Structures are given as C-alpha cells and as structure tokens.
C-alpha cells in the first residue's frame, strides 16, 4: 500500500514529510502544485522543457530543478533512472492547437498527440516502473474537462485528454496490487498561458465564466488541493479515478438558466 503507518490525527493524513515529489510542467498549475506539496512537507523537484521555468519554480520552494522534454521518451526513461527515489509524480504539461478538424494539419496533430498522449504514456511507464519496484507511489496526471465534453476546435486536444484518462485507469489496474496509485485531475477553465487566446476575447472569456456553476474561471492555486489530496495518505484507497475540479462545468446542462 502507498499508505504509511498512520498515527496521530486525521490532519496527519495530508502530511507528506520526507516524500519526494516531481512536478513535470513547472509553470502555472505546476508551480502552485509544487508550493502546496512543499508546504505539506514534500521535497520538490520541478522539471520542464524550459530550464529557466523549472529553476524559477524550484527556487520558490527551495527545491531542485531539471530540464525535461517528455516528448523524448529516452529522456523520460533517463530521468526516472537518475532522479532520487520519487514518491509522487505530477504531470501538468500539455499543449493545444485550437482548430476545426478540416483545418488541422497532420503535423499539428502529431505535435499535440506527441506531448499530451505519448508524453503521458512515457511518464506513467518509466516512473511507474520505478514505483512498482519500490512498492509505493502516487502518479497524478492532469487531464481536462475536454476528456468528457467538447466544443468545435477541440478535437485532437480532447482526444488526447480522453486517452490520458484511459491510460490512468489502465495503469491503476496494473499497478494497484503492487502498491502504486494512479489518478487524474480534470480542471475546468484556468487562468494560464494555455488559455491566453480565450482571455484576450472579453465575450469568449465571459461565456466560459458563465458556463461553470460558480460563474467564474479558476486560478492555478485552486487545483493545488486536489494534488495534495491525491498525493497523500488521505487518498490511500483512491486510484483509477478522475477528480474533477471544474467549478461544476460538467455538471451543468447548457448555459441557459430557465425560470424555476
């Protein structure tokens, strides 16, 4: 089991003292996840294809940094071999090319799939292998509301996020009896660089805010609690699940509120 000997109060279940956490994708949500895990006692390594971004996120929590491009499967394998024993892996790195299917090029398709799906597979495979050998660990993959609901222009991104969720479920089934938990976090619309195109259009920005039950976008820090929970012993019996942190987006039917 990933769960350690539990003594003390229930608040101790969320402590991560002495555990090593690797955050892949160090900007935005990843940086906030690193802060939250560090505040709960974890030892942090921040990794990103942008070495400067990794260093900045690591410096903010007194952690270590590494340059890592998860589209290079050999680099992921090497990272899993060379980094200190990792108890928690959080993968937030992703990209989107927002175009309708008829406008998509094969090259754009390959770019999105290579990072979002193939990269996710490599992280689960190589870091999961090391966790299985040690008999413990928690892998947390960031998905999206687009793993369940779509809109025009989201075809390839949505397909990769749905695929990532199926990888999570399969890894959970294969690694579970060996002590490793694998889960997904599915955010709604978050104020990050990935959504800058939407934020630049006031009407589009407001439409997305109105779609959630809370009537607003989320901030990266609002995803951090889900990461701490899934990393900790508080979630010791949670695996193969998708935790939706979407402000109720996927619970609400449409944008029109009819009279009661």
- Annotated catalytic sites, by residue? 157
Could you give the maximum distance between any two Cα atoms of the chain, in Å? 60
Cα dist from 158 to 14, 37, 51, 166, whole Å? 32, 28, 28, 13
Which letter does DSSP use for residue 116 in this model?
A: I
Q: Are 55 and 65 in contact (CB under 8 A)?
A: yes
Give the number of C-alpha atoms closer than 13 A to the C-alpha of residue 191, restricted to the C-beta side. 10
- Short-list 14, 123, 224, 223, CA closest to 3: 14
Which letter does DSSP use for residue 186 in this model?
A: E
Task: Give the sign of the dihedral formed by CA 166, CA 164, CA 132, CA 37.
Answer: negative
């Amino acid at each position: 089991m990933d769960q350690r000997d539990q003594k003390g109060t229930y608040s101790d279940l969320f402590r991560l003292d002495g555990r090593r956490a690797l955050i892949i994708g160090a900007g935005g949500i990843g940086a906030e996840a690193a802060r939250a895990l560090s505040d709960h006692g974890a030892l942090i390594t921040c990794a990103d294809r942008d070495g400067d971004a990794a260093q900045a996120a690591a410096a903010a929590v007194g952690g270590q940094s590494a340059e890592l491009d998860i589209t290079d499967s050999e680099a992921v394998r090497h990272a899993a071999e060379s980094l200190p024993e990792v108890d928690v892996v959080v993968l937030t790195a992703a990209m989107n090319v927002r175009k309708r299917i008829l406008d998509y090029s094969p090259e754009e398709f390959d770019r999105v799939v290579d990072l979002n799906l193939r990269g996710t597979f490599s992280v689960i495979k190589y870091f999961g292998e090391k966790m299985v050998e040690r008999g413990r660990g928690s892998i947390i993959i960031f998905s999206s509301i687009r793993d369940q609901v779509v809109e025009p222009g989201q075809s390839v991104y949505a397909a990769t996020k749905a695929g990532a969720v199926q990888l999570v479920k399969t890894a959970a089934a294969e690694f579970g009896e060996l002590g490793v938990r694998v889960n997904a976090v599915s955010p709604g619309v978050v104020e990050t660089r990935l959504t800058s195109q939407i934020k630049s259009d006031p009407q589009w920005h407001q439409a997305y805010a109105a779609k959630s039950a809370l009537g607003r976008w989320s901030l990266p820090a609002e995803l951090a609690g889900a990461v701490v929970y899934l990393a900790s012993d508080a979630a010791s019996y949670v695996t193969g699940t998708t935790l939706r942190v979407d402000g109720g987006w996927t619970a609400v039917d449409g944008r029109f509120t009819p009279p009661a």
